């Protein structure tokens, strides 16, 4: 048959066949869904009938993931990515897993770097999203964004990732302007035994995960893990292939129930990696810039302690403290940072109708930013950021079980901007157990970072006459502010079908702008100076619609559509000519995804994700559709064999502008993995 | 009516389908091969069983109602599983009947009330009246037994087990058989 196909098909058609077949293979399951969909097996329930309590307690069950009931009563746009979702998606990193959440814009810049945003403002720096791993804030005070390439843990150990779209400032702290990503790992009580997972493929060339956990079956549990991976470069049309990436990481966690009421968790991680980077280096004489492809050295670690006392009656007191160390040596910059943080939270079930949460925290971050190239300089090159916060929030049941009001505020004091308030009011109406409506008004603030305050960068503009543009942080830049209006609706049509709609209208003010100054001469060169000001304002509006359908107990389909409209403008007096268009054009207007997770049998699963992302004009990225698929077979409890294909619908596609340089194509890739646990 | 397929045949068909189409459209046409039950199927089975191990005081609980009502309070996570689990079952000749209710005060005719996750925030207000009415409260809300509920269904790994708060059942005047207490993973005597 293959012979016939080859001779009959024209060369052109022959080239297109694999692609067409791949696309067809992807959509067929989606198209024929209702045919013979499995119903819950009534015979199964009958078999359970004859069992004693003792026997029931020994039956292994599959847990129904994503019970819709758990989110229907949250007055915010929340999405929870479960461990099951992460495994089924075939994600090999946290950013990939974030693609599962609607309204989160995730673009791979190259093999190492990511650009992530929530409801707009997607960028390598993803400035306005607060990211926490077990309560530890992982954004860098350097630019108030996240270096995603070093945020990692054993993906198997993640219990869930809560993604809050929209301002989460009241409880979560500074810079949670556009959203919060809260990564929660499993208690070591739930990770007993050994786990080894190894695999490799065309881009994820090799990886090895190891974990061992245990406990005394009473009050103490522990685990430790180690992992390493080697990623190859993505597609570069000019064959520069600079972006290979290797990293090793290890860590531990202990959970100790000190008394009946007190529990203490101590955990830590250490990592070390080498990433291939490309950097633009400016030379002053002659005025020019060249691109240097060189390795960066990325390492760091953290140690965290979390103490919780159950005060009874639903109240508790928690204290968390951590130390975090970051070492980054890159081709054109370096950062060495120590962060100390302590937070106290008191959850107080004040009465039947009122639930109070209040707390306070302090963070001290000491950054050393030594000069690597003379055209990228922090002045001063060391800085201490202090952040103090105090928050209180009251959840009031106006009509118990039907109408709840949540009001609160955070008061923030940063060493560079003084006091900022982040109040929030949220209302939740649940007319029936199958419906809920919510609405919220929140103010959120992003405080200035080192990059805006103290960085001076120099870039050549022309050689004759020698001209440079120079951006200088002069500490006049103040906090960016946002006033967010949100409303949402959730409907549980039946236990198998649910919808979730979240809408938003955000007003931003005092956004960062680059304001030109008067050119001057320095050492025979013309300098076009720029300073950081708060010259941009504007609005974003949009919605995310999510539908979740379980045609049968072994099949889940989820579709989501996110629409975003950004409308920024210069404030009177602002002469910034680029920021508005470069920001608006860097987030997709449409983002659609369709997932299908099927258990073919108790031993066999098949998962697919198709996603469409519209064009990013400012990044020269065209719209694309691509898809991932994963087939896994677990013959018994101990083994799992899986093959995952990623970005299957084209040989490569770009997702975000090169950093710096031409677009990097994200390759179609396949990897296989074997997991053993005991 | 189709002839029943053996699991072995099904497995063979699944592989054949996979190999020949290269795609897993086969998913739709194949019944799962003895899949593991879901947690809620097992929880439903527990609800059908608990009544045999509990003695209600003569005066309390449903007096006129001839059926043994097992109620679900809150957003129903069971679907048809509970109806299937209770169908045809009796306790002291009273048929087990599933009921879905939305308010605690509708629970006075229930012998057993399963409080679903959606009611987490109202637990504190709803438990005392249920206790006074002599209803056996069961739930999978985290810390349910510690928060004043009677039987908490907990997931231990992939298995569904239960904890019992004896203090709460005693206050409600319920007598639990020793067999039930023996199988509970934790028995709380205070609170």
Interchain contact, A41 vs B32, CB within 8 Å: yes
- Any idea how long chain A is? 678
Q: Which residues of B touch A41 (CB under 8 A)?
A: 31-32, 35
Task: Count Cβ atoms below 10 Å from residue B123 Cβ, excluding itself.
Answer: 19
CA separation for the pair A122, A618 (Å, rounded):
11
Q: Which residues of B touch A600 (CB under 8 A)?
A: 14, 24, 26-27, 30, 32
* Strand spans (E) along A258-372: 262-283, 288-312, 315-329, 334-348, 354-368
Interchain contact, B118 vs A46, CB within 8 Å: no
Helices (H), chain B: 7-21, 39-50, 80-86, 123-132, 166-171, 178-183
CA separation for the pair A506, A565 (Å, rounded):
10
pLDDT at A68: 39
Task: Count Cβ atoms below 10 Å from residue A176 Cβ, excluding itself.
Answer: 31
Cis geometry, peptide bond prior to residue A647 (ω within 30 degrees of 0): no
CA separation for the pair A170, A426 (Å, rounded):
11
Mean pLDDT of A572-582: 93
CA separation for the pair A187, A41 (Å, rounded):
33
Q: Which residues of B touch A219 (CB under 8 A)?
A: none
Q: Does B74 touch chain A (CB under 8 A)?
A: yes
Cis geometry, peptide bond prior to residue A660 (ω within 30 degrees of 0): yes
Range of the domain at A1: 1-32
Confidence of residue A190 (pLDDT cuts 50, 70, 90): confident
Q: Could you give phi then psi for residue A155, rounded to 5 degrees?
A: -60, -30
pLDDT in tens, A88-134: 999 999 999 999 999 999 999 999 999 999 999 998 877 789 899 99
Confidence of residue A15 (pLDDT cuts 50, 70, 90): low
- Structural contact between residues A268 and A301, judged by C-beta atoms closer than 8 angstroms: yes
Q: Does A331 touch chain B (CB under 8 A)?
A: no
Together in a domain, A82 and A23? no
Residue A366 maps to which CATH number? 2.40.170.20
Together in a domain, A365 and A217? yes
On whether residue A52 sits in a domain, the answer given is: no
The three-state secondary structure class of A24 is: helix
pLDDT in tens, A134-174: 989 998 888 888 999 999 999 999 988 989 999 876 666 66
Nearest to A554 among B32, B117, B157 (CB): B32
The CA-CA-CA angle for residues A431, A435, A436, to 5°, reads 75
Nearest-CA distance from A671 to chain B in Å?
A: 18
Together in a domain, A15 and A87? no
Q: Count how many domains chain A has.
A: 2
Together in a domain, A258 and A390? yes
CA nearest neighbour of A392 among A346, A340, A447: A346
The answer for A 152-191 residues in CB contact with B (under 8 A) is 190
Give the domains, in start order, of chain B with CATH numbers.
1-34 (no CATH), 39-188 (3.40.50.2300)
pLDDT at B124: 84
Interchain contact, A61 vs B46, CB within 8 Å: no
Q: Does B105 touch chain A (CB under 8 A)?
A: no
- Structural contact between residues A217 and A192, judged by C-beta atoms closer than 8 angstroms: no
Together in a domain, A19 and A137? no
Interchain contact, A53 vs B46, CB within 8 Å: yes
pLDDT in tens, A251-307: 999 999 999 889 999 999 999 999 999 888 888 777 778 888 999 999 999 999 999
Q: Which of A57, A556, A606 best probes binding to B when mutated, by most B CB atoms within 10 angstroms?
A: A57
The larger pLDDT score, comparing residue A399 to residue A630, is at A630
CA nearest neighbour of A556 among A626, A500, A501, A498: A498
- Look at the block and give the residue holding tokens 């974003």: A540
Q: Which residues of B touch A61 (CB under 8 A)?
A: 36-39, 41-42, 155, 158-160
Nearest to B183 among A53, A600, A631 (CB): A53
Q: Which of B41, B72, B81 best probes binding to A when mutated, by most A CB atoms within 10 angstroms?
A: B41
Together in a domain, A379 and A464? yes
Identify the helix (H) or strand (E) that includes residue A13: helix A11-31
Interchain contact, B53 vs A598, CB within 8 Å: no
Structural tokens at position B116: 């679903």
pLDDT at A18: 56
Half-sphere exposure in the Cβ direction for A44 (13 Å, CA): 23
Nearest to B183 among A32, A46, A57 (CB): A57
pLDDT at A169: 60
Mean pLDDT of B93-100: 90
Task: Count Cβ atoms below 10 Å from residue A565 Cβ, excluding itself.
Answer: 14
Nearest-CA distance from B13 to chain A in Å?
A: 12
Pairing of strands B136-139, A652-654: unpaired
Nearest-CA distance from B183 to chain A in Å?
A: 7
Together in a domain, A88 and A207? yes
Task: Count Cβ atoms below 10 Å from residue A197 Cβ, excluding itself.
Answer: 20
Identify the helix (H) or strand (E) that includes residue A229: strand A220-231
Among A560-564, A580-584, A598-602, which stretch is predicted with the lowest mean pLDDT? A598-602
Instruction: Put residue A25 in one of left, alpha, beta given phi > 0 → left and psi -120 to 50 → alpha.
Output: alpha
Distances (CA, A) of A392 to A137, A354, A441: 20, 13, 16
Interchain contact, A602 vs B80, CB within 8 Å: no
Confidence of residue A617 (pLDDT cuts 50, 70, 90): very high
Nearest-CA distance from A216 to chain B in Å?
A: 16
Q: Does A432 touch chain B (CB under 8 A)?
A: yes
CA separation for the pair B138, B47 (Å, rounded):
8
CA separation for the pair B84, B101 (Å, rounded):
18
Together in a domain, A532 and A667? yes
pLDDT at A111: 94
- Structural contact between residues A567 and A508, judged by C-beta atoms closer than 8 angstroms: no
- Structural contact between residues B144 and B124, judged by C-beta atoms closer than 8 angstroms: no
On whether residue A271 sits in a domain, the answer given is: yes
Together in a domain, A190 and A260? yes
pLDDT at B1: 38
Q: Which of A22, A28, A69 best probes binding to B when mutated, by most B CB atoms within 10 angstroms?
A: A69
Q: Which residues of A touch B11 (CB under 8 A)?
A: 601
The answer for A 580-619 residues in CB contact with B (under 8 A) is 598-604, 606
On whether residue A45 sits in a domain, the answer given is: no
On whether residue A639 sits in a domain, the answer given is: yes
pLDDT in tens, A410-452: 998 987 778 888 899 999 998 876 788 999 999 998 888 888 8
Interchain contact, A29 vs B23, CB within 8 Å: yes
Among A339-343, A440-444, A471-475, A662-666, which stretch is predicted with the lowest mean pLDDT? A471-475
Interchain contact, B75 vs A51, CB within 8 Å: no
CA separation for the pair A310, A93 (Å, rounded):
34
Q: Does B8 touch chain A (CB under 8 A)?
A: no
On whether residue A175 sits in a domain, the answer given is: yes
The answer for B 117-176 residues in CB contact with A (under 8 A) is 117-119, 121-122, 124-125, 147, 155, 157-162
Q: Does A61 touch chain B (CB under 8 A)?
A: yes
Together in a domain, A284 and A195? yes
pLDDT at A23: 57
Q: Does B49 touch chain A (CB under 8 A)?
A: yes
User: Buried b vs exposed e over A299-334: b needs ≥16 C-beta within 10 Å?
Assistant: bbbbbbbbbbbbeeebebbbbbbbebebbbbbbbbb
Task: Indicate the pTM of the whole model.
Answer: 0.76
pLDDT in tens, B15-60: 544 444 444 444 444 333 345 788 888 999 999 999 989 998 875 4
User: Buried b vs exposed e over A183-196: b needs ≥16 C-beta within 10 Å?
Assistant: bebbebbbbbeebe
The larger pLDDT score, comparing residue A32 to residue A653, is at A653
Q: Is residue A61 scored above 80 in pLDDT?
A: no
CA nearest neighbour of B172 among B121, B117, B111, B119: B111
Interchain contact, A38 vs B31, CB within 8 Å: yes
pLDDT in tens, A296-345: 999 999 999 999 998 877 788 999 999 999 999 999 899 999 999 999 99
pLDDT at A220: 93
pLDDT in tens, B123-171: 888 899 898 888 999 999 877 888 889 999 988 767 888 989 988 998 9
For chains A and B, CB pairs below 8 A equal: 177
Q: Could you give phi then psi for residue B125, rounded to 5 degrees?
A: -80, -30
Together in a domain, A368 and A301? yes
- Between the two ends of chain B, the Cα-to-Cα distance in Å is 56
Mean pLDDT taken over chain A = 87
Structural tokens at position A242: 């600079």
Structural tokens at position B49: 């069983």
CA separation for the pair A641, A28 (Å, rounded):
24
On whether residue A64 sits in a domain, the answer given is: no
Together in a domain, A9 and A118? no
CA separation for the pair A85, A66 (Å, rounded):
10
* Strand spans (E) along A463-601: 467-472, 480-494, 497-516, 520-522, 525-552, 555-570, 590-601
Q: What is the DSSP string of B12-29?
A: HHHHHHHHHHSSGGGGGG
Task: Count Cβ atoms below 10 Å from residue A418 Cβ, excluding itself.
Answer: 11
Structural tokens at position A326: 């970051």
Among A160-174, A355-369, A396-410, which stretch is predicted with the lowest mean pLDDT? A160-174
CA separation for the pair A82, A66 (Å, rounded):
8
Q: What is the DSSP string of A371-383?
A: -SSTTEEESSSEE
Structural tokens at position A138: 């992982």
On whether residue A230 sits in a domain, the answer given is: yes
pLDDT at A212: 96
ipTM of the complex model: 0.74
Q: Does A64 touch chain B (CB under 8 A)?
A: yes
pLDDT at A70: 41
pLDDT at B12: 54
- Structural contact between residues A493 and A525, judged by C-beta atoms closer than 8 angstroms: no
Write the DSSP symbol of residue B35. Answer: P
Q: Which residues of B touch A554 (CB under 8 A)?
A: 32, 35
On whether residue A68 sits in a domain, the answer given is: no
Nearest-CA distance from A41 to chain B in Å?
A: 9
CA separation for the pair A483, A598 (Å, rounded):
41
The three-state secondary structure class of B56 is: coil
Q: Which of A29, A46, A59 best probes binding to B when mutated, by most B CB atoms within 10 angstroms?
A: A59
Confidence of residue A35 (pLDDT cuts 50, 70, 90): very low
Distances (CA, A) of A655 to A112, A148, A235, A320, A423: 13, 16, 12, 38, 36
Interchain contact, A495 vs B74, CB within 8 Å: no
- Structural contact between residues A563 and A518, judged by C-beta atoms closer than 8 angstroms: no
| Helices B39-50 and A42-49: angle between axes, nearest 10 degrees | 40
Structural tokens at position A563: 């629409």
């Amino acid at each position: 048959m293959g012979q016939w196909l080859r001779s009959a098909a024209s060369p052109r058609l022959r080239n297109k066949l694999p692609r067409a077949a791949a696309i067809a293979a992807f959509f067929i399951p989606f198209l024929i869904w209702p045919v013979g969909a499995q119903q819950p097996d009534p015979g199964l329930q009958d078999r359970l009938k004859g069992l004693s309590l003792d026997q029931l307690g020994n039956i292994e069950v599959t847990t129904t993931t994503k019970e819709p009931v758990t989110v229907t009563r949250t007055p915010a746009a929340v999405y929870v990515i479960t461990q099951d979702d992460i495994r089924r998606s075939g994600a090999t990193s946290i950013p990939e897993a974030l693609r599962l959440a609607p309204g989160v814009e995730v673009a791979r810049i190259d093999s190492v770097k990511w650009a992530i945003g929530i409801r707009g403002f997607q960028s390598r720096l993803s400035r306005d999203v607060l990211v926490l791993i077990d309560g530890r804030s992982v954004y860098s005070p350097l630019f108030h964004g996240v270096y995603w390439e070093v945020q990692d843990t054993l993906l198997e150990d993640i219990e869930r990732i809560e993604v809050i779209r929209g301002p989460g400032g009241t409880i979560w702290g500074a810079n949670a302007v556009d959203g919060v990503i809260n990564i929660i790992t499993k208690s070591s009580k739930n990770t007993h035994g050994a786990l080894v997972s190894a695999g490799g493929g065309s881009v994820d060339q090799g990886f090895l995960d190891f974990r061992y956990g245990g406990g005394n079956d009473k009050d103490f549990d522990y685990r430790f893990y180690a992992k390493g991976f080697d990623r190859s470069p993505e597609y570069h049309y000019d064959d520069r292939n600079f972006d290979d990436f290797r990293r090793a990481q290890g860590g531990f966690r202990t959970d100790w129930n000190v008394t009946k009421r007190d529990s203490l968790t101590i955990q830590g991680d250490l990592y070390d990696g080498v990433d291939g980077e490309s950097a633009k280096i400016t030379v002053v004489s002659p005025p020019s810039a060249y691109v240097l492809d060189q390795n960066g050295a990325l390492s760091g670690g953290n140690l965290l302690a979390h103490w919780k006392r159950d005060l009874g009656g639903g109240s508790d007191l928690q204290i968390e403290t951590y130390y975090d160390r970051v070492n980054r040596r890159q081709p054109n910059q370096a950062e060495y940072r120590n962060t100390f943080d302590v937070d106290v939270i008191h959850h107080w079930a004040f009465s039947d109708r009122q639930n109070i949460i209040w707390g306070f925290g302090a963070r001290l971050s000491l950054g050393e930013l030594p000069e690597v190239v003379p055209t990228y300089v922090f002045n001063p090159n060391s800085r201490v950021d202090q952040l103090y916060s105090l928050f209180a929030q009251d959840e009031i049941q106006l009509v118990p079980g039907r109408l709840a009001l949540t009001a609160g505020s955070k008061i923030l004091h940063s060493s560079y901007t003084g006091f900022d308030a982040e109040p929030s009011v949220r209302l939740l109406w649940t007319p029936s157990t199958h419906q809920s409506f919510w609405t919220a008004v929140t103010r959120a603030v992003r405080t200035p970072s080192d990059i805006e305050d103290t960085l001076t960068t120099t870039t050549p503009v022309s050689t004759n006459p020698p001209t440079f543009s120079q951006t200088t942080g002069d500490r006049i830049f103040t906090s960016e502010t946002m006033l967010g209006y949100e409303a949402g609706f959730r409907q549980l049509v039946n236990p198998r079908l649910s919808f979730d709609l979240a809408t938003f209208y955000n007003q931003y003010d005092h956004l960062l702008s680059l304001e030109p100054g008067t050119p001057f001469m320095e050492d025979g060169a013309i300098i076009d100076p720029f300073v950081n000001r708060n010259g941009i304002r504007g609005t974003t509006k949009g919605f995310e619609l999510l539908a979740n359908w379980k045609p049968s107990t072994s099949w889940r389909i989820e579709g989501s559509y996110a629409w975003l409209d950004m409308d920024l403008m210069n404030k009177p007096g602002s002469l910034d000519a680029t920021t508005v268009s470069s920001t608006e054009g860097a987030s997709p207007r449409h983002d659609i995804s369709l997932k299908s997770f099927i258990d073919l049998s108790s031993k066999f699963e098949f998962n697919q994700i198709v996603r469409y992302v519209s064009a990013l004009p400012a990044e020269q990225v065209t719209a694309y559709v691509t898809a991932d698929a994963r087939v896994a077979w677990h013959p018994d409890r101990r083994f799992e064999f899986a093959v995952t294909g990623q970005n299957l619908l084209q040989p490569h596609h770009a997702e975000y502008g090169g950093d710096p340089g031409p677009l990097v194509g994200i390759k179609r890739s396949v990897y296989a993995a074997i997991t053993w646990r005991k | 009516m189709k002839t029943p397929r053996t699991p072995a045949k099904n497995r063979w068909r699944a592989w054949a389908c996979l190999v020949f189409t290269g795609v897993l459209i086969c998913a739709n046409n194949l019944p799962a091969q003895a899949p593991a039950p879901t947690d809620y199927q097992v929880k439903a089975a527990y609800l059908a069983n608990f009544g045999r191990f509990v003695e209600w005081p003569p005066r309390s609980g449903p007096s006129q109602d001839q059926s043994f009502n097992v109620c679900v309070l809150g957003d129903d996570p069971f679907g048809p599983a509970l109806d299937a689990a209770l169908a045809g079952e009796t306790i002291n000749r009273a048929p087990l009947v599933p009921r879905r209710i939305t308010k605690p005060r509708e629970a006075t005719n229930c012998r057993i009330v399963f409080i679903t996750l959606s009611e987490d925030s109202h637990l504190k207000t709803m438990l005392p009246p249920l206790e006074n009415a002599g209803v056996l409260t069961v739930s999978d809300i985290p810390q349910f037994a510690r928060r004043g509920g009677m039987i908490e269904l907990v997931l231990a790994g992939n298995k569904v087990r239960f904890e019992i708060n004896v203090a709460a059942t005693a206050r409600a005047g319920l007598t639990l058989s020793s067999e039930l207490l023996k199988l509970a993973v934790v028995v709380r005597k205070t609170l």
